[in-house]
Amino acid sequence: MSGTAAIERTTAPEAVGDPGWALSQVKDAREKSIAIIGAGASGICLAKYLLEAGLDVTVFEVGTKIGGMWVYENDSGRSSAYKTLHINTAKNLTNYSDFKFGEGVQRFPSHWDMHEYLHAYADRFGVKERIRFRSEVTRVEPLFVPGREEPRWEVETVDGRTWVFDAVCVATGHLTRPLHVPEFRNGFGGEYMHSHTYRTPEPFQGKRVCIVGVGNSAVDIASDMCVITGRCVMVARSGVMIAPKLIFGFPVTDISMKLYRPWIPDKPRRKIIEFMVRLVHGNMEDYGFKPLTRRAHPTTSATIMQDVAYNRVIVKQGIEEIDGRTIRFVDGSSEEFDVLLACTGYLIDLPFLSADLVPIVDNNVELYKRIIPVDWPGLFLIGMVMSTTALNWNYEEQSRWIREFILGNAVLPTRDEMSRDIEKKKAFISEYYKESPRHHIEEEHMYYFMELRKSLRQARRRRFRQRVRGWFGGGSARLAGGRAAGAEAGAE
């Protein structure tokens, strides 16, 4: 890490004309400094992998806590955790591969369990001492010409201080800026709030509450408050399949993950999972929900189906009109409500990056393998994904992938190849998933992990071919290849 007064602009031995070149052509990988923005689950995971490789890592955290969204009432102001929040996957799936939850931790960890676990993880792997707390990043800018100079990035914090790094990794997540529907926010005459600010049910005692949404937050909050409200209606505007947390005494995720094997075809796997859900919950339509006709992000709940069955929560399939406090539903009925609680998701928010660097279009960032902007080597986004398994698994896969490019052990494909890969991904999402902002970053973990591993093998082969050309083509390229080879020896 160096101050702006000592910026060094290192030029590549020759212009390569494309940002998809090795990130360690000139500078020894062991001399690199890396900035990570965010000390949540993804940020500390990446920091751990980079520190193990011998890199100089600085983590910038806006608040004073480790754990990001899993810190209840986080002073960062970014957490959406409510008091009764638990992780959706069982702890044996949720933990990182080399750091298990304690024996005494409940089967589905709470946000308190997660906070304690992530803090212990950061302590165990030496990440905590690399974190600069109360250091909100306000600006990230490139100080290089892609394809001609080694990546150099300037990072500025809210206090006006600046640093220069060889790579910047963004780990701020995508569940911070609420997505408000104007019709709800501006049209409802009673109290409007987004699930991002919900914490406990007590303020809603005796009130008539309409919850809009049928994702994991919506079903959790509906179950949380339905026993204390005067009336609780949940508006499920799209089809859904709500999975139970347990089946035959086992976590459903333990069973479903066993079905994610490359040799099990996709269609039979989905049919088996659907059968398990029906075995426990029956037909979704019998509870008033629309059928699920296209793929969607998984929704799970241990209690919502019982709440619906006992009429503690009333299901409606859509809103036709809002007039003051009166909401008219698509079935022709209408009711007055005191509160409209919108569980309408989140917008991707990267305020410290200009739209020229990472454009956000239709709540989607176009990243190669969900990680790299095609025009800007040395800039990585981790955790910009919605997955069918525990997010910590995703963070580890992405961290191992990122590490190899930072060390110079792998070379990106050309810009055109990366762009084609992004378009192919977008076409897949459009064909198979229902239209929703959150599905733009949806990934089925098994296929995504296979993609990452395959692309990394290809990238390593590119690096090998580059080294061979360097051995027979000249001194400067040979030197760069030797340095990267030295770094490779320290990686997994």
Residue 364's CB is within 10 A of a number of other CB atoms, namely 17
Which helix (DSSP H) or strand (DSSP E) does residue 137 occupy? strand 137-142
Q: Where are the beta strands (DSSP E) in 314-413?
A: 314-316, 319-323, 326-329, 334-336, 339-342, 346-347, 360-361, 364-365, 379-381, 386-387
In this predicted structure, the answer to whether residue 12 has a pLDDT above a threshold of 70 is no
The pLDDT of residue 34 is 97
Domain 4-176+347-488 has CATH 3.50.50.60: yes
Which pLDDT score, from 0 to 100, does residue 476 have?
43
Integer Rg of the chain from CA: 24
CB 351 within 8 A of CB 178: no
How is residue 175 annotated by DSSP? -
Instruction: Tell whether the torsion through CA atoms of 391, 395, 127 and 173 is positive or negative.
Output: negative
pLDDT at 6 over 80: no
Written as one letter, the residue type at 350 is: L
Confidence class for position 378, pLDDT limits 50, 70, 90? very high
Higher pLDDT, residue 8 or 96? 96
Q: What is the pLDDT of residue 26?
A: 52
Residue 13 has pLDDT above 60, yes or no: no
**Strands 326-329 and 246-247, bridge-based pairing:** unpaired
Question: Is the model more confident about 282 or about 479?
Answer: 282
What does residue 177 show for φ and ψ, rounded to 5 degrees?
-95, 110
**Domain ranges in the chain with CATH number 3.50.50.60:** 4-176+347-488, 180-344
Multiple choice CATH, 180-344, 3.90.550.10, 3.50.50.60, 3.90.420.10, 3.90.1170.40: 3.50.50.60
Contact present, 66 and 128 (Cβ < 8 Å): yes
- pLDDT surpassing 90 at residue 480: no
> What is the average pLDDT across 482-487?
38
Q: What is the pLDDT of residues 50-97, one digit of tens each?
A: 999 999 999 999 999 999 999 999 999 999 999 999 999 999 989 999
pLDDT tens digit sequence for 394-417: 999 999 999 999 999 999 999 999
For residue 458, pLDDT beyond 90: yes
More confident residue, 307 or 299: 307
Residue that the structure tokens 């977008």 belong to: 426
- The Cβ-side half-sphere exposure at 171, using a 13 Å CA radius, reads 34
Residue-wise pLDDT tens digits, 172-200: 998 889 999 999 999 999 999 999 999 99
Q: CB-side exposure of 1: number of CA atoms within 13 Å?
A: 14
**474 pLDDT above the threshold of 60:** no
Q: Which residue has the higher pLDDT, 129 or 391?
A: 129
Answer yes or no: pTM beyond 0.85: yes
Residue 444 neighbours by CB under 8 Å, 6+ apart? 387, 388
CB 238 within 8 A of CB 291: no
CB atoms within 10 A of CB 44: 30
Bridge partners of 11, per DSSP, are 149
Positive or negative: CA dihedral 7, 150, 350, 82 = negative
Rounded distance between C-alpha atoms, residue 114 and residue 120, angstroms: 10
- pLDDT for the residue numbered 25: 52
Bigger pLDDT: 293 vs 157: 157
The pLDDT > 90 percentage for the chain reads: 66
SS3 222: helix
What is the end-to-end Cα distance of the chain in Å, rounded? 24
Distance CA 260, CA 29 (A): 36
Give the integer Cα–Cα distance in Å for 230 and 210: 11
Mean pLDDT rounded to a whole number for the chain: 88
- Counting every residue written for the chain, the total comes to 492
Q: Residue 490's pLDDT is what?
A: 35
Inform me whether the pLDDT recorded for 7 exceeds 70. Answer: no
DSSP string across 229-277: SSEEEEE--S---EE-SEETTEEHHHHHHHT--TTS-HHHHHHHHHHHH
pLDDT of residue 30: 72
